[in-house]
Amino acid sequence: MMYMALHIADPEVSRLAADLAALDRTTKTEALRRVLREAVKAKQVAAKREGFRELATQMAAKAREANVAPVTKQEMDDLWGMDDLVGH
């Protein structure tokens, strides 16, 4: 594997990377790698949530158009077997 030096031209970014590295007792590269991984993961989770919200909204709209009655709490509990889980 070939490594290249990490060069940060922006003084503030360089200082922040150094501060984070010092706090984490690691290198700037490792500190930035962790932060970038966390940021990418957070964006991926947010995108999945938004996709789910859009799907749920579309499904609810189609159910309204088809005059489908909403699912009751009891029906949902029955589907998930909640009575078995809580001992009823």
Q: Which residue has the higher pLDDT, 3 or 12?
A: 12
Total number of residues shown for the chain: 88
Give the start-to-end residue ranges of the domains of the chain: 12-86
pLDDT in tens, 23-45: 999 999 999 999 999 999 999 99
Specify burial of residue 31 (Cβ count, 10 A radius: 0-12, 13-18, 19+): buried
Could you tell me the pTM of the whole model? 0.62
The b/e string for 40-74 (b: 16+ C-beta within 10 A; e otherwise) is: eeeeeeeeeeeeeeeeeeeeeeeeeeeeeeeeeee
Q: What is the pLDDT of residue 86?
A: 61
